[in-house]
């Protein structure tokens, strides 16, 4: 894959988790290496997303065997991560637009353009 969206998703996830859980900070470096190798079309022996996939499936196997069977195929795991990245991106863009409007654009109540409830 030219652009490794699952690896990018894992970088974002482990960056956020690494803020709150220091033991997960070591994964960020590995996720960045995985993303860079796949982006530059280099060969990986066992990439980081494969390791995370295996760990995730083994974790699911103890709790939800049917989900573990579903995510057992790598393509389904990659599609799930890609879908998650798209959703994260959409939500972040919407939040940035709302933040911009809140900080820099006056509301109709402040501009005197309408009647505002008390």
Residues 6+ away with beta carbon under 8 Å from 111: none
Residue 19 inside a domain? The answer is: yes
116 found inside a domain: no
Residue at 39 is within a domain: yes
Is position 113 within any domain? no
Question: Is 117 a residue whose pLDDT tops 50?
Answer: yes
* Beta strands, E only, the chain: none
pLDDT at 103 over 70: yes
In a domain, 110, yes or no: no
53 inside domain:
yes
Query: What is the span of the domain harbouring residue 20?
Result: 5-103
Lowest mean pLDDT among 19-23, 39-43, 96-100, 101-105: 39-43
81 found inside a domain: yes
Please answer whether residues 1 and 81 qualify as being in contact, where contact means their C-beta atoms are separated by less than 8 angstroms.
Answer: no
CB 15 within 8 A of CB 8: no
Residue with tokens 């960020």: 28
Query: Does the residue 115 lie in any domain?
Result: no
In the chain, how many domains are there? 1
pTM listed for this prediction: 0.60
- Compute the average pLDDT of residues 14-30: 79
Across 46-61, b (16+ Cβ under 10 Å) vs e yields: ebbbeebbeebbeebe
């Amino acid at each position: 894959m030219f652009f490794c969206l699952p690896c990018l998703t894992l970088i974002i996830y482990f960056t956020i988790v690494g803020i709150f859980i220091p033991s997960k900070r070591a994964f960020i470096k590995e996720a960045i290496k995985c993303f860079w190798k796949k982006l530059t079309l280099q060969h990986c022996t066992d990439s980081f997303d494969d390791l995370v996939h295996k760990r995730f499936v083994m974790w699911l196997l103890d709790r939800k065997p049917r989900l573990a069977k579903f995510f057992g195929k790598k393509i389904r795991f990659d599609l799930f991560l890609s879908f998650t990245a798209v959703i994260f991106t959409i939500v972040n863009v919407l939040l940035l637009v709302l933040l911009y409007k809140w900080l820099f654009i006056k509301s109709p109540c402040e501009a005197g353009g309408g009647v505002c409830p008390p």
